[in-house]
Amino acid sequence: MFKIFAIIMLINNLNCRGEIGRVLKYYETLTRNDFTLEKISRTKRQTESPTFSQKLNIRLFGKNLQLHVNPEKNVMSKDFQSFVKSTKHFEEKYIEHPKFYKGYVKGLKKSTVRIHFIANDVFAAIDLPEEHIFIEPSWKFLPLSSNYSLIAYRTSQLSSTDRLKCGFVDPNLAEEPKNQHVQTHRAKRNTIANRVCKLLLVADYKYFVEVGKKSFSETVNNMISKITEVDAIYRATDFRNGYKNIGFEIQTVVVHDEFTKNSGENHYNKDKSNWTAKELLRAFGSDKSLKHENYCAAHLFTATKFSDGIQGVAWIAKSGAVGGICAPGSGSTKYNTGWSTAIDKYGNRILTFESILVAAHELGHNFGSQHDPPSCATDKNNLFLMYTYAVSGKQSNNQKFSQCSIDHISKVLNSRGSSCLKEPSTSFCGNYKKEDGEDCDVGNVADDKCCTTNCKFKTNAVCSDRNSPCCFECTYANSSVKCLDQSNVLNCKKNSFCTGKSPECPDPKFEVDGSSCIDSGKCKKGSCQPFCESLNKNSASCLCANENSCSICCSVNNGTCEVHRENGKKLLLSDGRPCFEGICEKGICQKTKPVVNKLWDILKKLSVNDIIEFFKKNLVLMVIIFFSVIYIPITIIISCIDYKRKEDEKSHRRWKYEMPNQIFLSNSDKLTIKATRSKRRDNYMVKKDEENQKIKKEKVSKQRNKVHPSNTNYNI
């Protein structure tokens, strides 16, 4: 029995790995713990909200990457709503918003990092100068394991995507309703930059089961993550004529948690497997309850298999014609719609990255782009996003619009962009700032006792300790709590105390007019008037010279600077105020001491205890200094010894190779001949030996002549 079970598990494991093997040539596995963010810095908590910078160290494909990220606004509109829909009910349901971070890879210019944390799942996109890495949950493709929960892959390792194609292979599929026109408004240049297309996203029951694991939150957040990546593709595109930074915002999400039953019409959420691409598109656009006309575009996410390999279909926008973004539709059908499926023609799940490209492609049709003709492809192996067959993303152009697509989209934006696209939401939950529509905002603090991650108060909480100065343990602080201390400021305002009825600190009350403030000034309506101005509107404070440098001086009508006296006495500036030659101390202008003198004064005041305390507080620094004091001299000494040893070796070699030559050379030769250890030297020595032998023979011959002179005469 155990063997049978093991065989079944092995077959299942091979099937799972075979499924991903058809899509990826190589991938790596990770765990959720590999994506633990570490705080780099945090500003001290004040009345203003703090900001964070976080990092993540991760090893991918043989490289150690340090990711630096910050909380970032996601693509959810400020009036975002999510609904669950079944045959009997249609109700709003809140979800825990995904935590979205954006940043870069440390040390790599032109790198971008986007991370989505969704419950226990992670979606991440890492754009490097020469590579694109994507990370997603592994449960879609691999058997469950305690050793991993995520897969990471490079887009260059994606297999061919000829199994994926768009429904508009035949242009006749994009039938345009006749005699219908969109009201257009030609926009002036630069008037629709940084605008967004408000989206309605719908997940049918198949998508809810196959991709969302029957979890409402998982399904919604999965769609949000995909549109976030689609948004990045569009914002990186310059559609010309001032149409830059055009993106998306999700306004409404609808999730079906069961098939739609007992519906006389051909409902898009019926339990039906033999849909045609165009039939499903029309069915989705015919559901009046969705109110497609309230949105820029509506997109259906499904997990339906199409035997012809179609992954998506959408209505194409054209300037002045009904269809695409903000199209009102004709009769019962709306034409600002499209759909994409997460299942290929073999019934296998496609990668999230592929699904993102398909959704971006179909929304490209909604924006007015046709399929790219062959003439638009600069490289047949590096096709653009709007190619007829879905691109894999492995090439640099796969995530870009071609110039042909940009031309088409630019015309549509120019005709209807100003009325269709909207201003983006500026506030977002998770940036530590309480903004419109939020009860509170504590950023990425998951266990805050007052505030949820959706920026709403928890049960029984009326305020947030992190966002409000007069909030204590999620309720209003009592009236004895001082929330603003002005005791050391002398700025004509009193201390502020909480009211016990509000989380905010009330504005401080003013001191009584005429009260003393900075440098003998007088309070007036909460502001400190300088002393001279409080006496005369036409007077102003000035600096006197010499012995009056530290006296309060006022300019008189003729512009001269005079010492002010009260009852015949001069009023002095407070200690520390600047004077002509330095700083005032007890009414005397003390010249600023040179830095050396100041340092000596500090050293004279130091005691042994002060030095010991300083060492304790700066132990690491002292250790570094101590070892530097030892290390540097030792290094210098060793260097000197090495230098001397090298010089000795040179001297020894000189004696060894040069001195023997000098034995056979005259003084004149010594001045002109240099000893070497080369072949030239050897030839020279041989020649010298021959010359020496010749000289020696001549000497011997002369000696013989001297010894036998008769013989010499005889021979002659």
Which one, of 137, 135, 4, 157, lies nearest residue 12 by Cα? 4
> What span, in angstroms and rounded, lies between the C-alpha atoms of 511 and 520?
15
On whether the CB atoms of residues 508 and 495 are closer than 8 A, the answer is yes
> What span, in angstroms and rounded, lies between the C-alpha atoms of 49 and 466?
7
Helix axes of 608-617 and 619-663: crossing angle, nearest 10 degrees: 80
On whether the CB atoms of residues 365 and 315 are closer than 8 A, the answer is yes
Burial 579-599 (b: 16+ CB within 10 A, else e): beeebbeebebeeeeeeeeee
In three-state secondary structure terms, 330 is strand
Q: What is the pLDDT of residue 597?
A: 59
On whether the CB atoms of residues 440 and 466 are closer than 8 A, the answer is yes
Query: What are the backbone angles phi and psi of residue 347, rounded to the nearest 5°?
Result: 90, 10
The per-type count for the chain, helices as H runs and strands as E runs, is 13, 30
Q: What is the pLDDT of residue 325?
A: 93
> What span, in angstroms and rounded, lies between the C-alpha atoms of 490 and 485?
11
Residues lower than pLDDT 50 in the chain: 1-18, 43-52, 169-182, 184-190, 660-679, 707-716
> What span, in angstroms and rounded, lies between the C-alpha atoms of 255 and 84?
5
Question: Which tokens hold the place of 407?
Answer: 């031309």
**Is 371 assigned a ligand-binding role in the annotation?**
yes
CA distances from 303 to 163, 210, 216, 310, 443 (A): 15, 7, 16, 12, 34
Q: What is the pLDDT of residue 665?
A: 44
Residue type, 369: S
On whether the CB atoms of residues 114 and 224 are closer than 8 A, the answer is no
Please give the model's pTM, rounded to 2 decimal places: 0.62
Q: Which positions are annotated as active-site residues?
A: 362
> What span, in angstroms and rounded, lies between the C-alpha atoms of 384 and 380?
9
Q: What is the pLDDT of residue 598?
A: 57
On whether the CB atoms of residues 413 and 192 are closer than 8 A, the answer is yes
Which one, of 508, 478, 481, 514, lies nearest residue 495 by Cα? 508
- Quickly count: other Cβ atoms within 10 Å of residue 325's Cβ: 25
